[in-house]
Amino acid sequence: MAVSVLTYDTAHPGDTSDLLAKLSGFDVSRIKKLALLAKTEGNAELNDYSREYALQSATIALRAHGGDALVHRTIFLFSTGCEGAITPFGYLFIDYADAEGTQPINDRALTIGCARSRALLPHEIGRVMHADMVAATVNSAMADTGVSRDDVALVIVKTPVAGASSSSSSSTESRITSGQSKAIGALGAGIALGEVDRSRIKGFDEDPLLYTRRAMVFSGTEFESVEVLVLANKPGASGNLSVHTGFLKDLLDADAIRRTFAAAGCKIDGGTVTDSDRVAAVLLKVGVAADGRLRGRRTTIKSSHIDMDKQVRAAVSGVIGSILGTTRSFISANTVHQAPPGGGLCACIIAGER
Amino acid sequence: MAVSVLTYDTAHPGDTSDLLAKLSGFDVSRIKKLALLAKTEGNAELNDYSREYALQSATIALRAHGGDALVHRTIFLFSTGCEGAITPFGYLFIDYADAEGTQPINDRALTIGCARSRALLPHEIGRVMHADMVAATVNSAMADTGVSRDDVALVIVKTPVAGASSSSSSSTESRITSGQSKAIGALGAGIALGEVDRSRIKGFDEDPLLYTRRAMVFSGTEFESVEVLVLANKPGASGNLSVHTGFLKDLLDADAIRRTFAAAGCKIDGGTVTDSDRVAAVLLKVGVAADGRLRGRRTTIKSSHIDMDKQVRAAVSGVIGSILGTTRSFISANTVHQAPPGGGLCACIIAGER
Amino acid sequence: MAVSVLTYDTAHPGDTSDLLAKLSGFDVSRIKKLALLAKTEGNAELNDYSREYALQSATIALRAHGGDALVHRTIFLFSTGCEGAITPFGYLFIDYADAEGTQPINDRALTIGCARSRALLPHEIGRVMHADMVAATVNSAMADTGVSRDDVALVIVKTPVAGASSSSSSSTESRITSGQSKAIGALGAGIALGEVDRSRIKGFDEDPLLYTRRAMVFSGTEFESVEVLVLANKPGASGNLSVHTGFLKDLLDADAIRRTFAAAGCKIDGGTVTDSDRVAAVLLKVGVAADGRLRGRRTTIKSSHIDMDKQVRAAVSGVIGSILGTTRSFISANTVHQAPPGGGLCACIIAGER
Amino acid sequence: MAVSVLTYDTAHPGDTSDLLAKLSGFDVSRIKKLALLAKTEGNAELNDYSREYALQSATIALRAHGGDALVHRTIFLFSTGCEGAITPFGYLFIDYADAEGTQPINDRALTIGCARSRALLPHEIGRVMHADMVAATVNSAMADTGVSRDDVALVIVKTPVAGASSSSSSSTESRITSGQSKAIGALGAGIALGEVDRSRIKGFDEDPLLYTRRAMVFSGTEFESVEVLVLANKPGASGNLSVHTGFLKDLLDADAIRRTFAAAGCKIDGGTVTDSDRVAAVLLKVGVAADGRLRGRRTTIKSSHIDMDKQVRAAVSGVIGSILGTTRSFISANTVHQAPPGGGLCACIIAGER
């Protein structure tokens, strides 16, 4: 049993040919869990359906490949927005029962834990019990792979937003925003990780000093339940991968990214990672300060017709791309309660000896 | 006589308060030439008038400060687009008759040369004579400051596009695009710099292998004549600034940027410029390959609702910002005939000993 | 055998619940042909995948309802863009073998003819043979339902664009635009309808005076073959529907719309259609003049960050919506070779006696 | 003394040539008051500076024409957004001391009243005292031209928003939105017109049933004071113009528009105004219901990447344009507290006998 992390490309959001090609190297019956983390390339506005299209296409592909049983063993996380130096692509996490076994090369190795809550009722969304449900789902995901919170490097959370179509009322007051849904997910993850004191939670997206440090949270109107993917380094696990986390003070903080890779055992020379072939995955989530300022100066990130998340993703694609020499990074924005305001999180999965 | 390069901020495109504050340190009667290179923050689409607004505002401010005579001694270059980690700001180049004189600290120092052509007639725009006029204007600008083409580090060209309103005809066939106008400007500059063989010019934006290496070209429907600003290192000139040029193979080419700063005498450590207080100005112009691919992989830079130039500027802002630790860089895109496809140009002005 | 035209709503492009509800009233085995004409609500830019998502979703739904056989008897025409007073919805055309028969109430009744060409090869797209293939497919569709060109009120054409992903080359020169694909489709339909003299075709999107009068053409990179749906009034056919066509001189030409409905037998009073419950379908395709002017004055339809087609659709939604009192109209733009420049086409299907 | 209403075109927001041409027919010394109501063509997003550019350009032009004194006698109302069938243009209201006098042809004639409040302090904006100040300014404007509230057909209000740059704090909580600023302006106007019960005001943009009926409100971060232009029919006034107001139940309510013109004395035939040469001005402000539905059906007006106001303006341009046969209408959206939800207001100025 070991976790593999593969990368697949997409010619468009509905393209699953490379996903299936990569899957074809694995015996379906020995796939214990799958997780798809994909960046899709829609316009990332209210009328973007690229994520739903990609999700439907991937589900069709997996069902054709391994039946409903494979679909049920899979967690899908599709995030929209590939602005700048970003290739639309997906990471495929495969927890696989390998007959020969993979000898551990470090004392710990990457494992993944998955969990899904029951569907939330519309009136539950946006309340403290929503955060509690996130926390419980994170705990289930840790239990799923037998790790403690200290083993965890990254928690990926999907959390629902009550969409317009799910409500019979025309009231907008009772709905929560995507940002609030992410805030709830972050605080819930923080409770489970021991990084957020539940008693300090007064509301969502209110206290910027209350944040978790090892979570990336995504929201969507198409979700009904909370889903969690935990990435952890488990003592004694087999496999040659390990996962590492670092913290960016702002979106230009290349030094923090380099330190994260260095701590993960990579070689850095002249500002770039020189053994980037060992990098199995990199995930970044970075935000921007409330006043839109960066390094003490005004930017137009929050005062443009282009949504701030798009500008952040594009700028970060330059930072990470110039360090790793690649356009395949999973970059997202909006770090509400997932970092101090303007800060961010970098996670990487590295193959080989640390 | 020495050239100073100052930086001024703008709260919005019409804001000239910091420009005037910076100018107030200089005696108007001793200002020989001014050049304003500013990034404005409009939407950079067909219905963006932020550049015209900024130009009108700056002209009003300069006229109030130094009369029409000062306005006539000034070259204005306003470029739209501050996406990502970019602060809307301007560089103020002042060629100033300093009573005490500034002792040269290097054998060469920055000088600026300016020239403006006569207004082009609508039927001249987009033809080879348009490129010839650019070449002649570049030659005039070199003569203006007494340098040869080998002394030149960077030629900044403004070149007209025949706008819809300047034509009584509804025909779109005879109009040239902004890209074609830039192409013409680049080839014209290349002729003057000896980098482009005039006899090889068959058309504009056609032969990607024909390019100049030391020009940044901007186009606008509001221009009627060609204007040129030459930045050169003149032997024996006074002043403590020098200008340097480097070449990027693509928009993630941080190493090329670092090499440019190193060659200019800056200190680089761990991937960043550690004496960035010596950097008086940095200008970048980078493009994207015709197929939109980068480092061998697909991007959506050319297949998105967001114009490619905006994505390039935002991504490059991350690259340069993480090297210099600043959001004040003059970044533009579309390098047609100004670099090999997908490549780019970096220029920096550095204070102090090389 | 009679044709029914039903309307179904969609909560989002992937929603097929109302489509299936409407279909449930029909015995699948007696459905001879289906046609779905739907407006989807994506951003209608390069990175819009709402149409592909809607198409995939509708195909899944029809397959679940009637198997691959039903899918093969169906023509899908999904058009993006619901700006303004437009409800995302679809028309469902059902050619149905009705046991009892529907007595003809007029001497002619609506019939639909369908045809599909072979897949075009990449090098065929954009050439005169592409137009010839459109013409041949229109002829096949007329033959399919046994009508002559004089019986035809409207020809709906889908025609392929060679998309980036279908080409191994990075060259953009050899690809045709969406507008050129529509131009070819229009000229091909015009040949079949006897409205365009094939010998006058010099190129596509070149001669604005060469146009067909009874065709609406749609293009898409996802199409490989030409598909045609012919709407005709067939002598002696059963059913209570008839189809009518009118011509708009420009997008504000409400009088032409009213005349079309009046000629179709509808009652008009005070500027509005008062028996709009008889209107089974309305389709409009309107363009804008090359210079973007309307009624002698400048508009910003062609000089805005918002694509002209979106502005046209929204404006036309006000014109037709205020006449019919509905937001359910199938409105599209870009009438290249389908009307004189700036003009348009209105088609309506009316129930009952003329 | 009589009021003239002229129309001037603009080639771009900075173009004042037609404004000056129209003004040239008047003796500056006899111009008592001027009002410019202009539609500008920017992108109408956060980074649109077209309105500021137009305002600066118009001010320069008026100052050149009549000095600061003329500028001070002028009210400027520039509104962005010319989507669809709208020509960027301006209305020029001139209150002119005519030596010969214009014989009244009706018992009442159009007069304009203007007033401007002191600059609001940042902490005053968004509070009830802000609404009170609007009411007081409306009262001043009525007094300025000697009319009572019953004589008033339309009150045009400009009201400030506290912009980011006017605040030293990075807090967004204490700022009001553009919508809230308009809501305050509407309620304030309603108090002055006797249409809104001040004691029922609990907050802004909260109670949709509280609305004024004869006000169009505009907000802008560039305003510091409240400015009001009152259009009234004054008993015994000279001049041949009169102003009329009608109410639309929704944006497709062409009948309400036709009734308004009919009540103003225009001839309507077959749905169109046949004596539209008598129409000196038409102003429309229409909204959309909170749930985005229209005539009982879903629209994407509130669920698109295109802002709802733009879609409303474009759709309304089709409605009014098809009635009047013109693209010169002053159309705006967002009717918060200026109409019942989804409703709207139509005002027209008609020349000649009623």
Q: Does A11 touch chain B (CB under 8 A)?
A: yes
What is the CA angle B173-B178-B181, rounded to 5?
A: 90
* Tokens matching residue A214: 């090892």
pLDDT of residue C42: 95
Please enumerate in sequence order all residues whose Cβ is within 8 A of that of A179, keeping only pairs 6 or more positions apart, or say none: A205, A334, A336
The three-class DSSP label of residue A173 is coil
Max CA pair span of chain B: 58
pLDDT of residue B20: 98
Does the distance separating the beta carbons of C306 and D306 come in below 8 Å?
yes
CB B301 within 8 A of CB A314: no
Considering only CB atoms, which chain B residues are within 8 Å of C300?
Answer: 47
What is the CA angle B337-B340-B343, rounded to 5?
A: 110
CB B347 within 8 A of CB B244: yes
| Mean pLDDT of all residues in A345-351 | 98
- Please give the share of chain C, as a percent, with pLDDT higher than 90: 84
pLDDT at C172 over 60: no
pLDDT of residue A206: 80
Tell me: the pLDDT tens digits for B1-16? Answer: 799 999 999 999 999 9
Q: What is the pTM of this model?
A: 0.96
C223-235 b/e (C-beta count within 10 Å ≥ 16 → b): bbebbbbbbbbbe
pLDDT of residue D96: 95
From the list B12, B43, B56, which residue is nearest D43 (CB)? B43
CA atoms within 13 A on the CB side of A331: 30
Closest residue in chain C to residue D271, using alpha carbons only:
C271
Tell me: the pLDDT tens digits for A200-248? Answer: 998 777 888 899 999 999 998 878 899 999 999 999 999 999 999 999 9
Q: Does B6 touch chain A (CB under 8 A)?
A: no
Neighbours of C34 (CB within 10 A): 24
Element holding B186 (H helix, E strand): helix B178-193
Q: What is the mean pLDDT of each run of 10 residues along chain D (354 residues)?
A: 95 98 96 97 94 97 97 96 98 88 81 96 89 97 98 97 50 67 95 96 85 95 90 95 98 98 97 97 97 97 96 98 98 96 98 86
What is the CA angle C97-C103-C109, rounded to 5?
A: 80
Tell me: the pLDDT tens digits for A242-298? Answer: 999 999 999 999 999 999 999 999 999 999 999 999 999 999 999 999 999 999 999
Closest residue in chain B to residue A12, using alpha carbons only:
B300
Does the distance separating the beta carbons of B47 and C290 come in below 8 Å?
no
Q: Does A46 touch chain B (CB under 8 A)?
A: no
Q: Does D170 touch chain A (CB under 8 A)?
A: yes
- Which of C9, C253, C317, C346 is best to mutate for the D interface (most D CBs within 10 A)? C317
CB A265 within 8 A of CB A350: yes
The better pLDDT of the pair B159, B223 is held by B159
* Bridging pattern class, strands D293-294 and D297-298: antiparallel
* Tokens matching residue C233: 């009034």
- Please give the share of chain C, as a percent, with pLDDT higher than 70: 95
Q: Does C167 touch chain D (CB under 8 A)?
A: no
Report residue A299: phi and psi, to 5°: -125, 175
CB D323 within 8 A of CB C253: no
- Which of B168, B169, B291, B294 is best to mutate for the C interface (most C CBs within 10 A)? B291
Element holding B350 (H helix, E strand): strand B344-351
| Mean pLDDT of all residues in A330-351 | 97
Tell me: the pLDDT tens digits for C109-123? Answer: 999 999 999 999 988
Q: Does B172 touch chain C (CB under 8 A)?
A: yes
pLDDT of residue A205: 76
Closest residue in chain A to residue D208, using alpha carbons only:
A171
Neighbours of C123 (CB within 10 A): 10
pLDDT band at C171 (very low <50, low <70, confident <90, very high): very low
Does the distance separating the beta carbons of D305 and A47 come in below 8 Å?
yes
Q: How far is Cα B269 from Cα B263, in angstroms, rounded to an integer? A: 14
CB B298 within 8 A of CB B346: no
Identify any residues that bridge with D77 across adjacent strands, giving them in sequence order.
D37
Tell me: the pLDDT tens digits for B120-138? Answer: 998 888 888 999 999 999 9
Considering only CB atoms, which chain C residues are within 8 Å of A57?
Answer: 56
Tell me: the pLDDT tens digits for B95-111? Answer: 999 756 666 778 999 99
Which range is least confidently modeled, A154-168, B147-161, C196-210? A154-168
Which range is least confidently modeled, A148-162, C196-210, D136-150? C196-210
Considering only CB atoms, which chain B residues are within 8 Å of A299?
Answer: 82, 84-87, 327
How many angstroms separate the CA of residue C334 from the nearest CA in chain B? 17
Does the distance separating the beta carbons of A49 and C13 come in below 8 Å?
yes
From the list B270, B298, B306, which residue is nearest A271 (CB)? B270
Residue carrying the six token digits 């440019």: B260
Considering only CB atoms, which chain C residues are within 8 Å of B164?
Answer: 291, 303
Does the distance separating the beta carbons of A306 and B311 come in below 8 Å?
no
From the list C45, C171, C293, which residue is nearest B305 (CB)? C45
Considering only CB atoms, which chain C residues are within 8 Å of D81?
Answer: none
Considering only CB atoms, which chain A residues are within 8 Å of B304?
Answer: 41, 43, 82-83
pLDDT band at C164 (very low <50, low <70, confident <90, very high): very low
Q: Does C13 touch chain A (CB under 8 A)?
A: yes
Does the distance separating the beta carbons of C52 and A48 come in below 8 Å?
no
How many angstroms separate the CA of residue D51 from the nearest CA in chain B? 9
Closest residue in chain A to residue D170, using alpha carbons only:
A291
* Tokens matching residue C112: 């639909």
Chain B residues 295-314 with a CB less than 8 Å from chain C? 300, 303-305
pLDDT at B165 over 60: no
pLDDT of residue D173: 41
How many angstroms separate the CA of residue D162 from the nearest CA in chain A? 14
Considering only CB atoms, which chain B residues are within 8 Å of C336?
Answer: none
Q: Does D85 touch chain C (CB under 8 A)?
A: yes
Considering only CB atoms, which chain C residues are within 8 Å of D288?
Answer: none
Tell me: the pLDDT tens digits for A102-123? Answer: 667 789 999 999 999 999 998 8
How many angstroms separate the CA of residue A45 from the nearest CA in chain C? 8
Closest residue in chain A to residue C55, using alpha carbons only:
A53
Residue carrying the six token digits 């410019």: D36
* Tokens matching residue B249: 């193979």
pLDDT of residue A272: 98
A107-119 b/e (C-beta count within 10 Å ≥ 16 → b): ebbbbbbbbbbee
pLDDT of residue B175: 67
For chain B, list the contacting chains (3+ Cβ pairs, <8 Å): A, C, D
- Which of B46, B178, B297 is best to mutate for the C interface (most C CBs within 10 A)? B46
Q: Does C148 touch chain A (CB under 8 A)?
A: no
* Bridging pattern class, strands B2-9 and A279-286: unpaired
Q: Does C322 touch chain D (CB under 8 A)?
A: yes
Q: How far is Cα D162 from Cα D55, in angstroms, rounded to an integer? A: 19
